[in-house]
Structure 1
């Protein structure tokens, strides 16, 4: 068999495999909110057989299989954002590079379903002591880190409250930076999210027994500001919660470092870690995590 024929056979095999990949639950009602957080691994990494060009279709396939209303991505470069925008024409995307606030460098790019949401406002801030300064760094962070956000009106929700959708990526080395970033996120969420119901996605590079986790989800004035959707959707003390796969679909033991969090007034219907793989590999070195939410009807001002 010549090389051209072999390539055609491989492409056909991958196409057929994608067709039989397990799909997510498609029984969600119109008001349910499907949320996904996905670290897609920066596309210029020297990953060999797991290079972006060899897995980008798999990334897009897992996103479309879940069909999220809100999608937060991490480690997203401009050409990856453009690829996903082409594959997801029903979505509006927002994202800037972390170095200067332009198109250079990794983004915490977020996507929302255009027909469902009206965009009220959007912006970005940096995880530093000067959050409004693009590219700023503080504490012991090894890299510039940021958060992107959008304030939305959900045309399908019975609640009159808008949604603040935030997406972030904490530093992978700086221990103090992760703690301070969690504290900053809570402060910013309170400021930007006044009158809103908040959804937060991200790669937090910290486990659920960590100080950053407690700083984000800990109680203040007797009540938690943020709630961990996976802990609510899967309340049992389960093993096998790893969300960093290292491109291996068999990885289960390890820390759950990718989270979807909400403020009050959300009901968690389901929360999952998508470990779908093909030939033993995953679409990224992180598993995408998902949550199905219901925005509660307005009961207070």
Structure 2
């Protein structure tokens, strides 16, 4: 069975727990979802080596505490750790190794520490590595971690995923959402949760409805919203459908942003990253 403590970690670093300061307001937790776009030479000018520096500059400027990524290859994850000191990541690929796409979870190890972690597949047999159901062609999975904030000991779970992409996979995406919802209930119980992902469908979908029965869409819940609504742009910069979501439970959402920054019309990925500033309820 593939479950807890089964992910191969890269760059994990220990951190020392410090007591929270008395009567200080709870610090914000800044979470991001970012489809990094796999490193494929046919992207030409947008091939990973040509945009890696811009990608890392985008992350650095946003200053998140934690990031759920999609389409990540190990070479990109390792480059992130080399370029941005203070970060660590974990994950295996959708086939159980390191040669394919990962749902890599990145976090600032000076701000957060990992208590537990695991993964499951979006299928009728979630604990079977690389399992596929419902007619879509590729394994789809979720990677999760239980994190503790070093500043005050507050804990939360992050789940990160990537749903099937074809137009004819809408029913499969709904089934995938059901698996995610069931596993969040089983793993996180009633505790605080952040769900990041490329869901390959919009907020008007049944998949979104399934997930928002228990989770809040951070864009809709935020006190302030910045940036375009759409997230996929195909390296063109024109926002299309909002397929990248950040959903939460147990948090107040102070700010939500879709980051469409570019340099001379060049973008770090074919998706805009989305970011939310969160504060624990209670």
Task: Name the TM-score class by shorter chain.
Answer: 0.7 to 0.9
The equivalent of 2:145 in structure 1 is 150
CA distance in 2, matches of 1:30, 1:50: 40
SS in structure 2 opposite 1:125?
strand
Q: Which of the pair has the greater relative contact order for Cα pairs under 8 Å at 6+ separation?
A: 2
Who is 1:65 aligned against?
61
- The 1-side partners of 2:180 and 2:41 are apart by 28
| Moved segments of 4+, more than 2 Å | none
- Helix, strand or coil: the match of 2:42? coil
| Residues 239 and 102 of structure 1: CA distance in aligned 2, closer, same or farther (over 3 Å) | closer
Please give the alpha-carbon distance, in whole angstroms, between the structure 2 residues aligned to 1:39 and 1:80. Answer: 12
TM-score where L is the length of structure 1: 0.81
Give the Cα separation in 1 of the matches to 2:224 and 2:139.
34
Counterpart pick for 1:202 among 197, 212, 219: 197
Quote the RMSD (CA, aligned, Å): 1.9
Q: CA deviation at 1:118?
A: 2.4
- Contact kept, 8 Å, 1:97 with 1:105, in 2: the verdict is yes
Q: Which residue of structure 2 lines up, in the alignment, with residue 163 of structure 1? A: 156
Structure 2 CA distance for aligned equivalents of residues 90 and 235 of structure 1: 29
Kept after mapping to 1: 8 A contact 2:227/2:259: no
Instruction: Kindly provide the CA deviation profile for residues 198-253 of structure 1, in whole angstroms up to 9, marking residues without a partner as x.
Output: 111110001011111111113xxxxxx100001112789x995110011022x13x
Please say if residues 127 and 145 of structure 1, whose CA atoms lie closer than 8 Å, have aligned partners that are also in contact: yes
Higher-Rg structure is: 1
Q: Is the 8 A contact 1:226 1:261 kept in 2?
A: yes
Residue 196 of structure 1 and its aligned partner are, at CA, apart by: 2.6
Is the 8 Å Cα contact of residues 271 and 289 (structure 1) preserved in structure 2? yes
Q: Which residue of 2 aligns with 1:93?
A: 89
Runs of 5+ in structure 1 lacking a partner? 1-28, 219-224
Q: Shift in Å at residue 109 of structure 1?
A: 0.1
Contact 2:121 2:131 in 1 (8 A): yes
1:51 to 47, 57, 60: 47
| Contact persistence 2:228–2:260 (CA under 8 A) | no
Q: Which runs of 5+ in 2 are unaligned?
A: 1-24
Aligned counterparts, 1:99-118, within 5 A: 99=95, 101-118=96-113
